[in-house]
Amino acid sequence: MKKIGIMGGTFDPIHYGHLVAAEMARGEFKLSKVLFIPTGTPPHKNRRDISAGEVRFEMVKRAIQDNPAFDISALEIEREGPSYTVETLRVLRRTWPEDELYFITGSDALLEIFSWREAEEIFKLIQFIGAARPGFDASDFFLKVQQEHPETQGKIHYLEVPALAISSTDIRARVRRGEPIRYLLPEPVRLYLEELGLYVE
Ligand code: ATP
Ligand code: MG
């Protein structure tokens, strides 16, 4: 039985926050690999100008190329219409019926899960690894979540990730203001987004 990590996100652009969380989860939970799945039309985002799926896919591809344990899936960006996590998880379950699947998310996204379609069903398909910065009061948070949502009992794991204030929103804002973004994300991704002139306005 293998353990497989799933890292879903808009990745507009992918940055070191995502990559460090995925790598720490891999080490801590002995995952045989982490599969990055860029979202199609994200139902929870209301930014109107999300970069094209192919562009976000290409950025992820360039970001993970040097890590043999990281892989990418076009499952969601190839799907028509909005992607619901539960549908993706059903496909992954069919692909790996015997293995343990772990969905890696930031702690901000963990709170959103309960607004997702078929949240209860999701906990039957996959466990969660919630990445938070050191100092985040996880015990209170998890206690509250498990009291309010008993179906999550034992299915949410906490992962401490070294302080990373990096976010895609901040990177896009920096590009717009003409500020540096180097060292916030892998160099091949930075060069690619500059070449395309992404986020300039
Ligand atoms: P945006 O600012 O556009 O929302 P983002 O930086 O939050 O982008 P997403 O693509 O929305 O990136 O996030 C994908 C996943 O990665 C989510 O589960 C999110 O919580 C997590 N994540 C994002 N930034 C970090 C970070 N710095 N450290 C750990 N996890 C992160
Ligand atoms: Mg986000």
**Minimum-distance ligand 1 atom for the alpha carbon of 39:** 10
Q: What is the Å distance from ligand 1's center to 16 Cα?
A: 10
Mean pLDDT of the 83-90 span = 88
Q: What pLDDT shows up at residue 65?
A: 98
Q: Which residues pair with 9 in a beta bridge?
A: 38
Q: What is the pTM of this model?
A: 0.93
Ligand nearest to the CA of 47: 1
Cβ–ligand 1 contact at 166 (below 6 Å): yes
Measured distance CA(121)–CA(110) in Å, rounded: 15
Give the Cα-Cα-Cα angle 62, 182, 103 (nearest 5 degrees): 50
Q: What is the Å distance from ligand 2's center to 98 Cα?
A: 30
How do residues 11-65 score in pLDDT, each as one tens digit?
A: 999 999 999 999 999 999 999 999 999 998 655 656 668 999 999 999 999 999 9
**Minimum-distance ligand 1 atom for the alpha carbon of 109:** 20
How do residues 111-122 score in pLDDT, each as one tens digit?
A: 778 777 888 889
Q: What is the Å distance from ligand 2's center to 94 Cα?
A: 28
Q: What pLDDT shows up at residue 174?
A: 98
Question: What residue owns the CA closest to ligand 1's atom 28?
Answer: 17
Distances (CA, A) of 115 to 4, 122, 194: 24, 12, 35
The answer to which of 7-11, 61-65, 128-132, 133-137 has the lowest mean pLDDT is: 133-137
Cβ–ligand 1 contact at 167 (below 6 Å): yes
Who contacts 191 (Cβ-Cβ below 8 Å, separation ≥6)? none
Which residue's entry shows tokens 């192919």?
54
For the ranges 67-76, 110-119, 142-151, the maximum mean pLDDT occurs at 67-76
Cβ–ligand 1 contact at 161 (below 6 Å): yes
